Amino acid sequence: MTTTISRNDLAGFNQAGFNQLLERRIDPVWITQARKDAWAAFESMGWPNPRDENWMRSDLRGFKLDRYQPIDESETQSVQNAPVRLIQGVDVGGSLRSENGVVTAESLDPKYAAQGVIFGSLSRCARDHAELVKKYLHSQIDIHVDRFAALQAAMWTDGYFLYVPKNVVVDKPLHIHAAMGDGKVDLTHVLIVLEEGAETTVLFESTSSNEDADGFHCGGLELVLNARSNLRFVGLQDWGSGTWHFAHKRASVGQDANLQWTIAAMGARFAQVDQRVALVGPGASSHVNGVMFTRDKQHLTYNTIQQHSAPHCTSDFLYKAVLQDRSRTVWRGMIKVDVGADKTDGYQRNDNLLLSDNARADSIPGLEIKADDVRCTHGSTSGRVDEELIFYAQSRGFTRVEAVRLIVTGFFQQIFDRVTIESVREALGVAIARQVRQYE
C-alpha cells in the first residue's frame, strides 16, 4: 500500500518543510550534511538588513516567504506554455529542461558524451558523478552571505550540471530552460565546470507559464573555468511579472581562460542578483554584457564585483538599462584588485536610458585597488530619451513608438555588437522590441 502526501500536507520553507525534503530525497550523505549545515545557517540569520550596502536600495517588504511552498520533487512537474526564445534556428548539442525546479528532460549529443562531457540533472549527477560535483558544488558561493544563499543551499531541488573534460570542444551550444508555473517556486543550481582547454557555449533561459506569473526563484550559479578554457554563457531572465527573483552568481576564471557572459534581465517584479567574476589565474579575461529592460513597477538590482586576484587579467563589464513606467534599476559595480594583481585592466560601465519621468536608475560604480600597477576605468550615464531624436525619426516617417523602439535598439546595439551568437542577438532584439510600449 502506498500513501501519497497531498499538497496540503506539505510544509512551507520552515523546519518541518526542510525535514520533509530530507526524507523524500535520495541524496548522498555529504549533500544531506551540507543541506543541514546550510539550514542551520539559514535559521541563525535574519533577513537582509536594509542598511546593508547590497540591500539598502531593495525593498523586501512585499516579499512573504510563507506564501510559497517547496516543490515535492517526487511528484511529476508540468509547466505549460513557458516560452523558449534563445534557440530559434539553432542546432543545439544538448538540452535540459526543468519545471518548477526539477529537471524533467535531459539530452546530450552522443558524440559529446563519448568524449566525457557530462550534462544533466544536478541531483542525478551528484549521485552518478559524486566526486566531481562534490569538488565544485558551492565552491564559489559563500552560503553565509545572506539568507537567500543559505536557503538555496539547504533546499535546492535540482539543477544543471555541465562538465567538459580537458581540451574537449563542444562546438554546438547547449541549452537550458528553466520553466516555472504561476505561484510556484524554482530553487535550482547551475554548476558548470570546464577543465583545462575546454570550450563551450551555454544558452540559459528562465521563463514562466504566463506573462504575469507569480513565483519565487532562489537560485545559485557557479561557473568554474580552469586554465585556457573558454566559455560563452548567456542568461535570459524572463520570469513572469509577479515573480521574486534572488540569485547568487559566481564565476572563477583560471589562467588564460576566457569568459564571455551575457545577462539579459527582462522579467520578474523584483530581482536581487549578486554577480561576481573572480580572475584567479594570470592572463584570465572576462567580458560581461548586461541588458536590463524594465516596465511597470519592476525593481531590478544587480550588484556586480570584478575580483582581480591574479596579475595580467582583464575584466570588462558593460551594463545597459532601459526603463519604462515606474520601474527602477539599481546597479552597483565594484572592481576589486588584490595585492599583487599587477597589470590589471579593469573596465566597468553602466548606461541607463529612461523612457519615463517616473522611472529611476541608480548607478553606483566603485573601485577598490590594492595593487600598484593597474589600469581601471569606470563610468555611468543616465538620461531621458532625447525628444529631438524622436522628432528626427518622426520627420522621416517613423511613428512615435517606432522611433522610441529604434532609439532603444540603437542604445543596446553596443552590447549586441559584443554578443557573438546570432540567435541570441536576434532573440534579445525581439524581446526588447516587444517590450517597448506605446507611451507619450
Q: Which residues contact another protein (rule: CB under 8 A)?
A: 386-389, 391-403, 406-407, 409-414
Q: Distance of CA 196 to CAs 181, 220, 294, Å? A: 38, 23, 38
Tell me whether residue 36 or residue 434 sits nearer to another protein (CB atom). 434
Tell me whether residue 69 or residue 409 sits nearer to another protein (CB atom). 409
Q: Is 264 exposed, middle or buried (0-12, 13-18, 19+ CB in 10 A)?
A: buried
Tell me whether residue 204 or residue 411 sits nearer to another protein (CB atom). 411
Whether 214 and 188 have beta carbons less than 8 Å apart is answered as no
* Residue-wise DSSP of 214-257: EEEEEEEEEEEE-TT-EEEEEEEEE--TEEEEEEEEEEEE-TT-
Segment holding 354, helix H or strand E: strand 344-354
For the bound state, the minimum distance from the C-beta of residue 84 to another protein, rounded and expressed in Å, comes to: 22
For the bound state, the minimum distance from the C-beta of residue 320 to another protein, rounded and expressed in Å, comes to: 10
For the bound state, the minimum distance from the C-beta of residue 419 to another protein, rounded and expressed in Å, comes to: 13
Find, among 264, 262, 309, the residue nearest to 288 by Cα.
262
Q: Distance of CA 336 to CAs 241, 263, 327, 440, Å? A: 34, 21, 29, 42
Whether 313 and 278 have beta carbons less than 8 Å apart is answered as no
Whether 180 and 212 have beta carbons less than 8 Å apart is answered as no
For the bound state, the minimum distance from the C-beta of residue 262 to another protein, rounded and expressed in Å, comes to: 17
For the bound state, the minimum distance from the C-beta of residue 438 to another protein, rounded and expressed in Å, comes to: 10
For the bound state, the minimum distance from the C-beta of residue 340 to another protein, rounded and expressed in Å, comes to: 39
For the bound state, the minimum distance from the C-beta of residue 140 to another protein, rounded and expressed in Å, comes to: 34
Whether 60 and 47 have beta carbons less than 8 Å apart is answered as yes
Can you tell me the distance from the alpha carbon of 391 to that of 389, in angstroms, rounded to the nearest whole number?
Answer: 5
Tell me whether residue 151 or residue 403 sits nearer to another protein (CB atom). 403
Residue found by looking up cell 541549452 in the block: 175
For the bound state, the minimum distance from the C-beta of residue 122 to another protein, rounded and expressed in Å, comes to: 39
Tell me whether residue 171 or residue 417 sits nearer to another protein (CB atom). 417
Tell me whether residue 91 or residue 387 sits nearer to another protein (CB atom). 387
Tell me whether residue 23 or residue 440 sits nearer to another protein (CB atom). 440
Can you tell me the distance from the alpha carbon of 92 to that of 113, in angstroms, rounded to the nearest whole number?
Answer: 14
Q: Is 80 helix (H, G, I), strand (E, B) or coil?
A: coil
Can you tell me the distance from the alpha carbon of 234 to that of 262, in angstroms, rounded to the nearest whole number?
Answer: 5
Tell me whether residue 116 or residue 410 sits nearer to another protein (CB atom). 410
Tell me whether residue 339 or residue 401 sits nearer to another protein (CB atom). 401
